[in-house]
């Protein structure tokens, strides 16, 4: 969440940023935060003044009794009792103001960087780069949901029987391809210096608040109500929360972790051709990169993550493009975000396969994730993450773009992981 210092010292810049993200009632909300902070601070000042008076009076009572000034001592005792009673009320007022302020701060999105373009939605995103291999398919090219049926790779109907729509069953070479991609992505992350983590796939509410999924995306998460736990929408949540309430040493940064997990998203309201087959699932596999870094190094970390994801797509021989997201299409928590999309020749559309984001101090402030600098002062870290990569649409693009009359060709980089070079 935004810091109070950020809001009070750079109010106009915060408001401009919130306007870029199309946050409704930004001025009124920020004014509320400032008013509650003023109330909290003024109440704290009065409480501190009263406590100082209590301490002073308490020290004099014994001396007054020794001097035989009983009436004055009793008067001091009465004043101490009065102050203590008043302090209870002041403490309640201060606590309530702090709680109300915190609850409002949770509802305010991150402020985008200046380099984030203006815009309302996906149509306003800026194409930064295009790359990869052009694809020429047979005239009778099939979309992946037909290919998976033809080669018995994924059974969508069986998933509906077992669980419901959006929970496919991978079979035979389809399952092998899925596992090959997971191992390939993890190996590539390890070669780039990432430490692999195997986190839980359910988290508590504190973890959801820590990375900003709660309260913003509560309706999109599967909630285990009896235990008040949430199925993770991404490994970002458990892996970043490793550093909740932690003070790191500067020499530890940047921290670079990766994790493969299943991910769960309700995707309420999703329907139509854009969600057919693997295009949008309720359960899917993903390898996630997470970095914790110093503020002055986080932009370099972000670029290194972008280079890593681009390298994966090049090795998979897929046509891709990189988009700089506009303010209106960015996530609630991101300060800067780039999306990677691969082109599906059979569907004639771009499929998002990764978002690589810099959150600045937004998540770190929620998490209380700090580091001790060279001057032994504690500062908030910057957090970053990105998919490297989300598997369903990668699988869809691989199947569709590599279909030939003889079968589906496997990219060279994946053959050692698959154990076969063609699906026929």
| Angstrom distance (rounded) from CA 197 to CA 405 | 41
Cβ count within 10 A of residue 419: 11
Cβ count within 10 A of residue 389: 25
Torsion 234-238-239-244 (CA) sign: positive
Q: Say if residue 288 carries a ligand binding annotation.
A: yes
Q: Say if residue 265 carries a ligand binding annotation.
A: yes
User: Taking the CA atoms of the chain, what radius of gyration do you get in angstroms?
Assistant: 27
Q: Say if residue 188 carries a ligand binding annotation.
A: no
Least Cα distance to 143 among 307, 340, 21, 278 occurs for 278
Q: Say if residue 385 carries a ligand binding annotation.
A: yes
Q: Say if residue 179 carries a ligand binding annotation.
A: no
Find residue 100's DSSP bridge partners.
Answer: none
Q: At what angle do helices 70-105 and 26-66 cross, to 10 degrees?
A: 160
Q: Say if residue 298 carries a ligand binding annotation.
A: no
Q: Say if residue 354 carries a ligand binding annotation.
A: yes
Q: Say if residue 42 carries a ligand binding annotation.
A: no
Torsion 289-293-298-303 (CA) sign: negative
Known binding site for ATP: residues?
265-267, 352-355
Numbered residues of the known binding site: 234, 265-267, 288, 352-355, 385
Known binding positions for L-serine = 234, 265, 288, 385
């Amino acid at each position: 969440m935004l810091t109070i210092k950020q809001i009070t010292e750079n109010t106009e810049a915060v408001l401009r940023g919130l306007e870029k993200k199309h946050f409704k009632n930004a001025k009124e909300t920020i004014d509320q935060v400032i008013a509650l902070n003023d109330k909290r601070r003024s109440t704290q000042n009065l409480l501190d003044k009263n406590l100082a008076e209590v301490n002073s009076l308490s020290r004099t009572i014994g001396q007054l009794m020794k001097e035989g000034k009983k009436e004055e001592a009793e008067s001091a005792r009465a004043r101490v009792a009065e102050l203590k009673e008043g302090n209870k009320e002041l403490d309640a007022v201060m606590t309530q103001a702090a709680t109300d302020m915190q609850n409002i701060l949770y509802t305010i999105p991150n402020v985008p960087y200046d380099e984030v373009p203006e815009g309302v939605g996906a149509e306003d995103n800026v194409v930064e780069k295009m790359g990869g291999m052009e694809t020429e398919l047979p005239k009778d090219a099939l979309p992946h949901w037909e290919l998976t049926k033809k080669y018995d790779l994924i059974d969508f109907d069986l998933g509906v029987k077992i669980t419901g729509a959006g929970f496919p069953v991978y079979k035979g070479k389809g399952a092998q391809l899925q596992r090959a991609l997971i191992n390939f992505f993890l190996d590539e992350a390890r070669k780039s210096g990432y430490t692999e983590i195997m986190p839980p796939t359910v988290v508590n509410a504190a973890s959801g608040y820590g990375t900003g999924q709660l309260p913003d995306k509560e309706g999109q998460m599967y909630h285990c109500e009896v235990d008040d736990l949430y199925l993770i929408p991404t490994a970002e949540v458990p892996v970043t929360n490793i550093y909740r309430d932690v003070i790191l040493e500067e020499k530890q940064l940047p921290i670079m972790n990766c994790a493969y997990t299943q991910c769960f998203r309700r995707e309420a309201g999703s329907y139509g051709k854009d969600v057919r087959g693997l295009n949008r699932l309720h359960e899917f596999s993903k390898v996630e990169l997470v970095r914790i870094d110093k503020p002055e190094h986080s932009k370099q970390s972000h670029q290194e993550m972008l280079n890593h994801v681009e390298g994966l797509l090049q090795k998979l021989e897929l046509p891709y493009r990189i988009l700089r997201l506009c303010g209106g299409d960015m996530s609630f928590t991101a300060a800067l975000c780039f999306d990677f999309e691969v082109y599906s020749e059979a569907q004639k559309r771009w499929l998002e396969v990764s978002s690589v984001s810099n959150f600045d101090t937004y998540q770190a402030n929620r998490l209380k994730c700090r580091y001790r600098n060279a001057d032994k002062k504690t500062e908030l870290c910057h957090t970053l993450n990105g998919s490297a990569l989300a598997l369903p649409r990668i699988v869809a693009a691989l199947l569709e773009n590599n279909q030939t009359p003889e079968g589906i060709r496997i990219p060279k980089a994946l053959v050692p992981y698959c154990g076969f070079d063609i699906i026929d």
